[in-house]
Structure 1
Amino acid sequence: MDTGTHHRTCHLCEAMCGITITVREGQIDSIQGDPQDPLSRGYICPKAVALQDLHNDPERLRQPVRRTADGWQPLAWDEALDLVAEQLDRVRQAHGRDAVGAYLGNPNVHNHGALVANLPFLKALGTRNRFSATSNDQLPHMLANLELFGHQLLFPIPDIDRIDLLICLGANPMASNGSLMSVPGFRHRIKALQGRGGELVVIDPRRTETAAVADRFHFIRPGSDALMLMAMVHTLFDEGLVNPGHIEPWLKDRDLVELAALPFAPEQVDAHTGIAAADIRALARQLATTPRAALYGRMGTSTQAHGGVATWLIHVLNILTGKLDVPGGVMFTQPAVDLVGLGAMAGQAGHLGRRHSRVQGLPEFGGEFPASTMAEEMLTPGDGQIRGFVCLAGNPVLSSPNGQRLEQALAGLDFMVSVDHYINETNRHADVILPPTSALERSHYDLIFNLLSVRNTSKFSPPLFEADANSRHDWQILLELAHRLEQRRHGGRLGWRQELGWRAFKQLGPDPILDLLLRSGPYGHGGGPLRSLGQPLTDLVLDLLPERHPLHTLAELSPLNRRWQALPKGLSLSSLQQAPSGVDLGPLQPSLPERLFTRDGRINLAPRRYLKDLERLHDRLRDHPGEGLQLIGRRHLRSNNSWLHNSHRLVKGKARCTLQIHPGDAADLGLEPGQPARVRGRAGEVVIPVEITEDLMPGVVSIPHGWGHHRPGTGQSVAAAHAGCSINDVLGDDQVDPLSGTSVLNGQTVTVHPCGEP
């Protein structure tokens, strides 16, 4: 591919923007938006242009390295893989299988090869001490999906292209391009909404970039979202505005929600939330009386002390006002690869609390413990203490609370390995780093974000550049390690059938598996002779077998299911390769009750774990609203967590890692613009320049997420030159939502002083 124009999907955030990359003489000449992409329609953000920086970065690792007393030394691939397998097995043999911990960063979900290979790798690793970015991010959403709809991945998505009212709570899609709502070109879509007479309402402790394009904006105190939402529920029942619409036959326990909301009248919560009672009632009325409307909440609502309840209540409000499963409301996607149906068929719909963490006793979710427990599980002696660690495409020192404590824990491990492109703030403590190929050297298909998209589409991107012969894709790295670990677990060798299976798996790779999933999915090959032969058998299976029988579930997923007969057919890897800009599979469609996975086929509106957790919300209501400054994070369009700060074009210009503070609070504290301030929290303190702005609610301060590149020993000089400070060096890892185990990243109390003060 020395010269030409190539179509791809940008993998740097959830938006899945279509891009065209022009290559001349083996080098990237330009990156532009693809106007033919059915989802992004030509939109891209500044991050996409930096793809070439990441690919060409001379500081990106291109072969395995081992940490020694004399610095990082290169290793051959077989030597590195053998060493890692040997050391991980040594830790297992000496201290038990749970003595090895594993952390998965969120780049894994942008990579279908890694998603396919992670399963056998984690199985071969055998540990129950698993962690991921989930509990610092979207866990409350997945829990609410599981409790109400029966599946952790069944996300209700705002149908933004047909909506007339979007109430946006604790979310900033102008900067994120949507989060758990893949929505490229949000500004254009909001202009279209407003052009048809619709309205965007934003509620946030900060007047965000999204608030700047909104029709109305309300400040809200951090951590009080659940109180406001419960007051909206109270208003619906109090004023006779409850009307679930066509889904009412599948609802249960509506009366329990009404009883739970009784103490939370708007007049009881206004002082705690900072929103007038009249405004809360008006919001509830507007949501109830606007036929095409949705309430959408994200990081601000989920990563707080009442994140579980707040996220549940967002679902409840959309359901009670008849916005679930209707065009212009919130709807479930029907992706080409239906991970929801496949997960249910495999018995992997999700679960909470089957086990609890060793030290704090926090519940696991989907087999993972909260990331906030990692450091204490490494530092606390005893059976099950983590002494070896695997970090897959993550940087939890910067992305998890109390990063300094985690650094201390990592430094004391017996062995650590990281699969990553860079030496970062976390894996500078690793013994071995295994770097995968760049994203432009591998194929790409979005298995996860098509579950979250505002429109059903499908797109496959082949590799843009040929990988070097001395490189490995991440899926190859994981499968090679898994194979070696399985051999060691079985005394050094496997049976010939098992060996043959591993060799075939490693030879096959993820793309043929993707092809099989596409062909057997709802848009797969369901016409011609196949239909005449298979349709009667499919109907027979659906009629005769119990709903929970595996063959019944498989028939439901088949393109021959009559439920899918109106959908386009013929999707496969080869057909996607003939449509390089992607295939439009149509707008979101009503799908209930068939899409429910609860045991009784009904929506569980009042799960008992939420009702029980309302005791904490009652306590908050009885307490004084509280004093002191509350800390929140923020996001920028040119950044995504800690990934992209080694691209000069994304970090150049005005410094973005600042402490934002309201003018009144700054005056009270004697702070001046640009002056360094000392911010102290439960975990420690940072020094950060002051930015005074009326965009912050009084009593609230903000530090962006993902910075803190001042740590020595990393291999990212551009990031180090724009180091900033880490919000997670301030936030305590002992602050979690006990309902879900999610880290409290928004609403912890801090003190702020001019740098000269003690």
Structure 2
Amino acid sequence: MEKKTFCRICDVGCGLIATVEDGKIISIRPNPDHVVSKGFACKKGLKYHEIVHSPDRVTAPQKRRGAKWETVGWDAALKEIGSEIKRIQKEYGPDSVALYVGNGAGFGFLHPFFAQALLIGLGSDSAYSSATQDCSNKFITAQHMYGFPMTQPVPDFENAGCFLIMGANPYATKMSFRGVPDVMNKLKEASERGCRIININPRKTETVRAGGEHHYIRPDTDIFFLLALANELIKINAVDHRKVSRYMKNFDKFRDAIRNWTPEKAAEVTGIAEETIREIARTFADADGSSIYCSTGINMGRNGALTFWVSEAINAMTGNLDRKGGTTVNKGLVDFPKMGAKNRIMMTDKTSRIGGFKAVNDLFPGSLLADEILTPGGRQIKALIVAAGNPLLTLPDTAKTEKAFKSLELLVSVDIFRNMTGNLSHYILPGITPFEHADINYLFHSLMGITHRRFYQYTDRLIPPLGEAKDELWIYQELCRHGGGKFFGSRAIHYWLHLRRFLRKIPLIEKGMAFSHEQILDMVLKLSRKKGIKRMRRHPDGVLLPQYGAGTFLGKRVYTEDGLVNLAPDPMLEAMEKLEEEWQWEKKNSRKLKLINMRQLLTHNTFMQNAPSLVEGRNNSNYLYLNPSDGEKAGFTKEEILRGGSREAEVYNETGSITVPVIFTEDMMPGSAAIPFGWGHQSADGLSRASQTGGANVNYLIPSGTDHVERLSLMAHLSGVIINVRPAGGAKEK
């Protein structure tokens, strides 16, 4: 039987057709009739059934006794975990129990709400997620500029005359925060139409193949390039003063703050010539629609929020915000930013215990999680629940994180696998895959409208949950109940759920009392004045909605207090005060090798490395990508360099060291190196395929602690870290 559904690995949501026989997914192919993806899907989605039916799936609750695991029943596991939660919170306080939500949970609609409900129910503010490793700079920037974190303008490059891509490789990511299926062909079409596509990156990425040009930039100096570009645009009178005066504020403050950041000054540290910066500014100003798009290469630097802010300010002040060919702001099923701004949803003023960092999207910095566990005192974390994540592999300073996790009095993993974090857990509670529950588009699409094409879709589950696996909604409710909390912190919901549990014991009404994905999603669709589930089942390819294009945002859906876009928020101006010191630091360290993070097409979700088809041949490891000139400086022979690699390199710094195979390539800017993240599963004996892969975890090289977190965004400093390289087995450079 063929069933239509959609992928939930990344923020595109490509339409899929699965062949299901006897409760097993046999194969997956693209859905040619899907309203947005139109027959496109990447290999990750097409091989996801290898994850669903992996022999490594955890399908019953597991309890660790020493180094051994034993299967336990749900009742026993929940009672024991609940008892520990109550004991720990009584002894150390509510915030001693923390929750970390990983990327694997982020692309379902309901999971974020119910994760929050668990913490609220337990009375804890200790919330963490993978967002502070890859994108929280965008949320805090939007909050300060537009009034709500999830107001995210997206580039209309299909109609642009100039499109500037910084710190991004859409080939691998399908353009995060826009979600474009078949993005390479769409970029190629834009280039052939006459759009000048300018890629700025320390690495010449695969995206350049789609057309356009590439300029190398010294890792983590993007802020200086953009400040100079903004300065030059003002100098050549490229500001749309009519739009600025009518819809924006604090332009004068912005202009004055960037006055001294000239192309000449930027050229000294970025490696991009001053005349090139001026020429790009002229192109940007003269084009009929221009925009700047930034992604993780920007987000993960020391100044992710500052850099993204300047890029957004450039789009806005030049009149390209809310313009065809510039950037536009779509709308979800409802105007969630309006409701969110009014009720300050995801905009609390709570601060972290370590460092006093103000929460972003109600989250604390993941890179400080180890310090919050290891540092004695009030609010010290003693218990951690990890949902669909592997923070031991993905957080900075892996050695410190491992030490912290081993010290916890309670560590619970809610997951489909026993990964590296799971190996240290006291309990593993088996969750389900996206194909085992009903769903609609995830939050970016459905509520925020952060997508290149406005649409919505519904899918039934393809197969029932395997074994005793439960959906996370049920698991969160039960953890909260057994831990002595009230779900969502509501007495009414608590007793309503209690009544439903009691009534489900009555055979005749058991089915009607289930608190299911289907019931909740049906209610959401109806409340948003869209078709309910019964009618949506008639549209398995999705439903297109009218676009909110140019001219629908400024003056209408900006939810700052005065309705104006703030071009110069005070927190951004205050953060700029450190830039002169950082510029001097860049000059002083200009000859040192700097590391950038790197996303790959098949493996940028770490759990996907347990899918055999995705880690075949050369894809069985990550690599150090190094310019040949840097290879020679590191001590590799000319013969090794000419072969393009084949031996291993030791990469090290003050934080740690790893050994990985090396590939020499002119695609890397001299003075920069790249290592893909998410590898190093060798000790994960619960992942039979991933544990057999090569490579190493780059986060052994990434420092943690308060000095390595951007205060504005809580982002970890994952890119632009100084490293040393030598042939494996050689002498270390001091």
Q: Give the TM-score, by structure 1 length.
A: 0.89
Could you say what secondary structure the match of 2:690 adopts? helix
Which residue in 2 is equivalent to 1:42? 39
Could you say what secondary structure the match of 1:717 adopts? coil
Q: Is the 1:236–1:284 contact (alpha carbons within 8 Å) kept by the matching residues of 2?
A: yes
Offset at residue 485 of structure 1 (A): 2.5
Q: Map 1:555-570 onto structure 2 (within 5 A).
A: 570=530
Offset at residue 100 of structure 1 (A): 1.5
Distance change in 2, residues 1:194/1:587 (3 Å): farther
1:748 corresponds to 2:721: yes
Which residue in 2 is equivalent to 1:591? 553
For residues 233-263 of structure 1, give each alpha carbon's deviation from its aligned partner in whole angstroms, at most 9, with x where no partner exists: 1001111111166464121010111111210
Which residue in 2 is equivalent to 1:507? 514
Q: Structure 1 stretches (4+) deviating beyond 6 angstroms?
A: 494-497
Q: Is the 1:461–1:580 contact (alpha carbons within 8 Å) kept by the matching residues of 2?
A: yes
Q: Is the 2:82–2:484 contact (alpha carbons within 8 Å) kept by the matching residues of 1?
A: no
The match for 2:627 among 662, 669, 685 is: 662
Distance change in 2, residues 1:185/1:604 (3 Å): same
The match for 1:481 among 479, 483, 487 is: 479
1:388 corresponds to 2:383: yes
1:326 corresponds to 2:297: no
Could you say what secondary structure the match of 2:19 adopts? strand
For residues 394-414 of structure 1, give each alpha carbon's deviation from its aligned partner in whole angstroms, at most 9, with x where no partner exists: 111111110111011111111
Distance change in 2, residues 1:360/1:115 (3 Å): closer
Could you say what secondary structure the match of 1:633 adopts? strand
Offset at residue 495 of structure 1 (A): 7.6
For residues 477-512 of structure 1, give each alpha carbon's deviation from its aligned partner in whole angstroms, at most 9, with x where no partner exists: 1112122234599xxxx9898423454498333433
Q: Map 1:287-366 onto structure 2 (within 5 A).
A: 287-348=284-345, 350-351=347-348, 354-366=349-361
Q: Which runs of 5+ in 2 are unaligned?
A: 502-512
Aligned-partner Cα distance in 1 for 2:672–2:61: 44
Could you say what secondary structure the match of 2:359 adopts? strand
Offset at residue 20 of structure 1 (A): 1.1
Q: Is the 1:99–1:384 contact (alpha carbons within 8 Å) kept by the matching residues of 2?
A: yes
Which residue in 2 is equivalent to 1:725? 696
Offset at residue 344 of structure 1 (A): 3.1
Offset at residue 656 of structure 1 (A): 4.2
Equivalent position amino acid for 1:140 in 2: N
Which residue in 2 is equivalent to 1:645? 609
Offset at residue 349 of structure 1 (A): 5.1
Q: Is the 1:681–1:732 contact (alpha carbons within 8 Å) kept by the matching residues of 2?
A: no
Aligned-partner Cα distance in 1 for 2:3–2:158: 28
Which residue in 2 is equivalent to 1:108? 105
The match for 1:240 among 234, 237, 241 is: 237
Distance change in 2, residues 1:172/1:487 (3 Å): closer
For residues 424-481 of structure 1, give each alpha carbon's deviation from its aligned partner in whole angstroms, at most 9, with x where no partner exists: 1112111111111222111122232313210101011110112357331111111121
Offset at residue 314 of structure 1 (A): 0.9
Distance change in 2, residues 1:486/1:25 (3 Å): closer
Count of residues in correspondence between the two structures: 703
Aligned-partner Cα distance in 1 for 2:59–2:653: 39
Aligned-partner Cα distance in 2 for 1:718–1:469: 21
Equivalent position amino acid for 2:599 in 1: R
The match for 1:686 among 658, 661, 669 is: 658
Q: CA RMSD in A?
A: 2.2
1:167 corresponds to 2:159: no
Which residue in 1 is equivalent to 2:431? 436
Distance change in 2, residues 1:515/1:161 (3 Å): farther
The match for 1:710 among 667, 674, 682 is: 682
1:581 corresponds to 2:545: no
The match for 1:81 among 71, 78, 81 is: 78
Distance change in 2, residues 1:676/1:105 (3 Å): same
Q: Give the TM-score, by structure 2 length.
A: 0.92
Equivalent position amino acid for 2:603 in 1: S
Offset at residue 386 of structure 1 (A): 1.2
Which residue in 1 is equivalent to 2:371? 376
Aligned-partner Cα distance in 1 for 2:314–2:539: 40
Could you say what secondary structure the match of 1:285 adopts? helix
Once the two structures are aligned, what percentage of the paired residues are identical? 28
My pick for the range that moved more, 510-519 or 471-480, is 510-519
Offset at residue 284 of structure 1 (A): 1.7
Which residue in 1 is equivalent to 2:648? 676
Offset at residue 202 of structure 1 (A): 0.5
Aligned-partner Cα distance in 2 for 1:293–1:701: 30
Aligned-partner Cα distance in 2 for 1:740–1:579: 40
1:453 corresponds to 2:451: yes
Equivalent position amino acid for 1:179 in 2: S
Equivalent position amino acid for 2:624 in 1: L
Could you say what secondary structure the match of 1:19 adopts? strand
The match for 2:405 among 386, 410, 418 is: 410
My pick for the range that moved more, 721-730 or 162-171, is 162-171
Aligned-partner Cα distance in 1 for 2:108–2:24: 23
Distance change in 2, residues 1:689/1:193 (3 Å): same
Q: Is the 2:64–2:425 contact (alpha carbons within 8 Å) kept by the matching residues of 1?
A: yes
Equivalent position amino acid for 1:703 in 2: I
Distance change in 2, residues 1:487/1:631 (3 Å): closer
My pick for the range that moved more, 586-595 or 35-44, is 586-595
Q: Map 1:627-638 onto structure 2 (within 5 A).
A: 627-638=591-602
The match for 2:198 among 177, 201, 213 is: 201
For residues 89-132 of structure 1, give each alpha carbon's deviation from its aligned partner in whole angstroms, at most 9, with x where no partner exists: 11111111121122111222211232232132111122222211
Offset at residue 301 of structure 1 (A): 0.9
